[in-house]
Amino acid sequence: MTTASTASTNYDWAAPPEYADAAQSDNTLKEPASDTIEDVSDAEATTQVPNVAGYSTYTVEFAKRSLHMDYLIKDASDTPKFYVNNKHLVAKLRGGRPDVVIHAGSDDKGPVVFASRSNVMGTTHEICFGNPTTSDKYAELHLKNAFSLTATWSPPGSDKKYTFQRVHGKEAQSLGGRKTSLLTLKLTDDETSEIVATYLNDGVKTWRKAGTYQIKPNPKIGDDWDKYVMFVGCVLTEKERRARRWAASAGGHGGP
C-alpha cells in the first residue's frame, strides 16, 4: 500500500476542493460538444433491469443543472448517496487536477470521497479512494489499452484483482442490458471469473436516468465495497462518454 508521503511525491495532485476550472488561455483547447443525444440514445433499453436477489441496486441519474455532465447516485430507497463531478477537460489539460471528483451527498458541496486523474493516451489512470489531500488510499486503474474499457484494479488494502469489461450483444442482453448499448459493463473476480457487479445503461426513454449498478455483497470488505465498485465504474463511464463527446467535437475523428 502506498503511504501518504510517497503518494504525494508520486502523484502530486492539486488538492480538491480547490479545483474550479480556470479560464483557458489557449484558445485551441475546446470543450467537448454536448452529449445529450448519445446519452439519451444509450438510455433506451429493450428489457427491464433484473432484480438479483441479495444484490445492492443503485440508480445513476444526470444531475440537475449540470448540462448532462454530472451524475447523482441514489440507493434503492431513492436517497442520494454520491455526486459525481465530471470535468470538461482531462487532468493533463487542467494542470494535473482531478477530472472526476466524487462527493458524498446530493451535490458538489459534500466531502470529497474519491478522485481520479485520467491518462488520455496511456493505460494507467491514477485513482484515490478518499480526498487526495488527506487519504493514502491511492491506487492505479490498469486499462487493456488506451481506448479500452477493460480495466483491472484492486480495492484499498487488498491485492485481489477485479476487472471491469464492456460487453455487447447477447452477453449484454443476458445481463439485462440491450445488444447495442455502448455502456453495459460487468465486473468479474479475476480469480474465480464470477460476475460480481454490473452497470446497465438501462433507463427507458428518459432525460434524467443514466443507468443502474447491481453489486454482489463482499463480506471481506463490507459496506465500502459498493462504493469502491461504483467509483471505479464512474471513471470508465466518463472515459467512454468523454471519448464520444470529443469525437463529436472533432467531426468524428476522435479525441481524448
Look at residues 128, 150, 152 and name the one whose alpha carbon lies nearest to residue 139.
128
Question: Which residues, at least 6 apart from 231, have a Cβ–Cβ distance to it below 8 Å?
Answer: 82, 102, 113, 114, 127, 129
Fold of 35-249: Porin (2.40.160)
Q: Would you kindly state where each structural domain of the chain is located, as residue ranges?
A: 35-249
Q: Give dist(CA 202, CA 115) in Å, integer.
A: 25
The residue to which cell 472526476 is assigned: 100
pLDDT given at position 232: 97
In one letter, which amino acid is 246? W
pLDDT given at position 19: 30
pLDDT given at position 165: 95
**234 three-class SS:** helix
pLDDT given at position 249: 63
pLDDT given at position 248: 64
Tell me how far apart the 2 most distant CA atoms of the chain are, in Å: 53
- Within the chain, which residues score under 50 in pLDDT? 1-11, 14-48, 203-205, 252-256
pLDDT given at position 247: 65
Residue pLDDT, tens place only, 54-74: 899 999 998 887 666 899 999
